Structure 1
Amino acid sequence: MHRNRLSIQRLLLICGLSCSPVLLAAAPAQTPKPVIVAYVFQRNDLIQPGQIAAQKLTRINYAFANLQGGRIINGFTNDDKNLAALVALKQENPSLTVLVSVGGWAWSGNFSDMAFTKKSRNLFIESVVEFVDHNHLDGLDIDWEYPGMVGAGNHFRPEDKQNYTLLLKELRHRFNQQEKKLHRQLYLTIATGASSDFLAHTEMGKAQKYVDTVNLMAYDYYEPSSDAIAAHHAPLFTNPADPKKISGNRSVQEFEQAGVPTAKIVLGVPFYGHVWGQVSDTDHGLFQAGKPVPNAFARYGNITTTMLNNGYTRYWDPVASVPYLYNPEKKIFVSYEDPESLALKSKYVVDHKLGGMMFWDYSGDPTGALLDAIDTGLKKTPYVHNGTK
């Protein structure tokens, strides 16, 4: 980009005022293709041949590396083998990039201490460079849940707000140096909470300058463990009846207002649902009181094979643009995502010129129906709904 800017300046000096407007007219800017980012969460399982549809992905964020002793370390038994398997997918898709994601909900407890001083940040950053180089990766995804907030019972401090920015700034500077050595690009991305609280505890207008994408986790707005109301956990638009008045669209607008460029925002979607019990049949359970049940987290694959049309009826919220299930006999409500809602979210991403879409996580969609809907939707091909509303 800097070379292009200098070339234009030289051309202006040479031509002066005699150059015609046609000669100096800039070529039309090409809109980058929306990225498709998959979080692959294997735990201790090995990635199997043919498991990942590499051709339909732009980037894989392998989850999770851990943070111990101020350094990034493997999180699970087979991380080295799994990372090698993912990097090998570039033979199928040469443009695929593979990043490691560090932290996550359960492993964000050591971020605050690591980011507290320049010395501690430098120790972490150097360990990241070694980790990325050792595994032949294309960069790092920071999943700190959450700066300045307790998250999963984590230690935090007020200084997290500024230290989060400093960590990203210093990582980006070190990656720039490493790029010259490797002769290839290194990506730095972040997974962010979609709440107003997250924005209040960070400096996103400053922090965004140092990252390639902001992966907006636009889900878990409602969870059975913390919300006594059965509601959409990943609505695209705000339903006026929603007590929280939340949605992916609202979060996108708030991040834009906080200074994050639209093109850097990657809309996150869930490949899983949340389940509430003891929900009354008013409005098929939507926005009604509910309680947690066993197995309240349900992967999309399980929802379609064990719930849908097995006592559970699918309903559609035309305002929020998401489906939900209700079982009147068991009084169970399920909030989830399906191909129709993801087709609409894909259209939203294209229409609003967002950076792309991200999903958590790959294992939730064993048949590939959700990924197909995203892949098709971002290519602007009309999605044909073959099911029933």
Structure 2
Amino acid sequence: MRTRSISCGLAAALALPAGAMEVVGYYPGWKHEAFPVTAANVDASRLTMVLYAFADVCWDGKHGNPEPSVNFSAPCQEPLNGALAFRDEAFDAANLRALVALKKGHPKFKVVLSVGGWDWSNRFSNVASSREARANFVASSMKVLRRYGLDGLDIDWEYPGEAGVPCVAGEICARPEDRQNFITLVRELRTALDAAGKQDRKRYSITIAAGGNANYVGDGAWIKELSQSLDWINIMAYDYHMPWEKNSGHHSALFADPKDPVVANGFYASASVERYLRAGVDKDKLVLGVPFYGYGFKGCAPGANGDGEYQSCNGGTSTGINGGNSYGFGLLQKHGMLTPAHEGGNGYRRYWNSAARAPYLYNAAEQVWITYEDPASLKEKARYIRQQGLRGAMFWELSGDGGNQMLRTLSQALR
């Protein structure tokens, strides 16, 4: 018999109807002008939850990451250490209210505020290590959830014990005790949200975005303890290979491919899930993250098979989103790299890795290799989620889809 830190009644409140699964998608708030909150862009009939990205936490009266590569720092709306802070409260408030309005006619659709992310995780270590700042975080979170009629909080701390974006000189953004402090922070948040939920006659959820590699999970004991205060964990099962690496590789393979030179590192989605299961996290508290985007590698030799896979490359391309190496599924189609039938176009040929269950594109003339997710690979992951008895799927992010093709595929495959 599995032990839980919640009552039987609360456990029942967490349960989904038989056969139902979570379909969770991030909405990027900073893209609201090009990708506004509309019923077409945010399909509440197919999503069970939207995560609004991102809010930040205040420290020393400012929010944002002062690191030069991120280059954003602004005064907090509520200048208390640990209080939530918005990039621009006016447009964030408008976006949140628009998302909540989509709940009309879709009572099972939830709107949750996500805090942190890659750029704004640099103050979590300070907040979690301070009793006063934790209390401010909890109080501020509760105030924001009630103000906008939200359904919970998602914490994207990247990462406890090892900050993704390095600290600036003189600052602390990672501590050896981060994991234990994270447990304390979430436990205190759980207590407060449960108490508020009784008053408000609703269930406030707490989820996290979590790393898929062995460094994040560690020995597993801490993540199992943390999970007891969470509704579920969204595993970021992508970015296993990145364009700055020396060789091309799949960034979101489902299974191991023996041909991958670093397969022993377990850089694929099913290995990430197994790490959490071995740690003792319940299957119904695991949501598999999938990407609605891909990465481009340049200068990739064709290799013996002529497809550029696992070959030496010269870094990332510069024809993707904002002149970078990232390509949303919709952008691949817009640029003609993918046809409406999801085959290669404009000099690109589509390939399928049957071991990894992953598609890829290669342009032999330009020596460009692209790893990405498509409807075929999404169906494979949906099948895996069902077979493993996981809670569902999460994806990054809505604006990367092409006319809801990916969301429609994912939603249908999980039903």
Report the TM-score when normalising by structure 2. 0.83
- Which residues in structure 2 correspond to 1:52-71 (within 5 Å)? 52-69=42-59, 70-71=82-83
1:174 matches 2:192? yes
In the TM superposition, what is the alpha-carbon distance from 1:223 to its structure 2 partner?
A: 0.9
- Is the CA contact 1:148–1:201 (under 8 Å) kept in the aligned structure 2? no
1:367 is matched by which residue type in structure 2? G
1:170-209 residue CA offsets vs partner (Å, 9 max, x unmatched): 1111111111111110000000011100112871010000
The aligned amino acid for 1:64 is: F
Choose which of 393, 401, 405 in structure 2 pairs with 1:357.
393
Say whether residues 1:220 and 2:249 are aligned partners. Answer: no
2:86 is aligned to 74
CA deviations over 1:66-112 (Å, ceiling 9, x no partner):
11132111234511011001101111311111100000001100000
- Go from structure 1 to structure 2 and tell me whether the alpha carbon gap of 1:85 and 1:4 turns closer, same or farther (over 3 Å shift): closer
1:238-286 Cα distance to aligned partner (Å, 9 max, x none): 1111122221000000111112111111000001001100101013111
Give the counterpart of 1:288 among 299, 311, 330: 311
Structure 1 unaligned spans of 5+: 6-28, 380-389
Residues 339-372 of structure 1, C-alpha deviation per residue, up to 9 Å, x if partnerless? 0100111111111110100000000013111111
| 1:297 matches 2:326 | yes
TM-superposed deviation, 1:299: 1.0
Q: Is residue 193 of structure 1 aligned with residue 211 of structure 2?
A: yes
Matches within 5 A, 1:1-389: 2=7, 31=18, 33-43=20-30, 45-46=32-33, 47-50=36-39, 51-69=41-59, 70-76=82-88, 77-154=90-167, 155-200=173-218, 203-225=222-244, 227-245=245-263, 246-282=267-303, 283=305, 284-290=307-313, 291-294=315-318, 295-306=324-335, 307-308=337-338, 309-379=345-415
| Cα separation, 2, equivalents of 1:35 and 1:110 | 30
Secondary structure (helix, strand or coil) at the match of 2:395 reads strand
CA RMSD of aligned residues (A): 1.7
Residue equivalent to 1:23: none
Deviation of 1:2 after TM superposition, in Å, equals 4.6
Tell me by how many angstroms 1:45 deviates: 2.0
Structure 1 stretch displaced more, 265-274 or 280-289: 280-289
Matched-pair contact (CA < 8 Å) for 2:121–2:163: no
Residues 1:4 and 1:56: Cα distance change in structure 2 (over 3 Å): closer
After TM superposition, give the deviation of residue 229 of structure 1 in Å: 1.5
Answer 1 or 2: which has greater helix percent.
1
Displacement of 1:288: 1.0
Pairs aligned (count): 355
Q: Structure 2 vs 1, CA of residues 48 and 167 (structure 1 numbering), >3 Å: closer, same or farther?
A: closer
Task: Give the direction of change, closer, same or farther, for the CA distance of 1:42–1:159 in structure 2 (3 Å limit).
Answer: same
Cα deviation, residue 44, structure 1:
5.3
Gap runs ≥5 in structure 2: 1-5, 11-15, 60-81, 168-172, 319-323, 339-344
Question: Matched residues in 1 for 2:236 and 2:48: separation?
Answer: 18
Counterpart Cα distance in 2 of 1:201 and 1:188: 23
1:364–1:259 Cα change, 3 Å: same
d(CA) in 2 for partners of 1:48, 1:356 = 24
3-state SS, counterpart of residue 120 of structure 2: coil
Q: For the pair shown, which has the larger CA radius of gyration, 1 or 2? A: 1
Q: Supply the distance in 2 between the matched residues of 1:345 and 1:39 (Cα, whole angstroms).
A: 18
The code of the aligned residue for 2:237 comes to A
3-state secondary structure, aligned to 1:220: coil
For 1:206, the aligned partner's letter is E
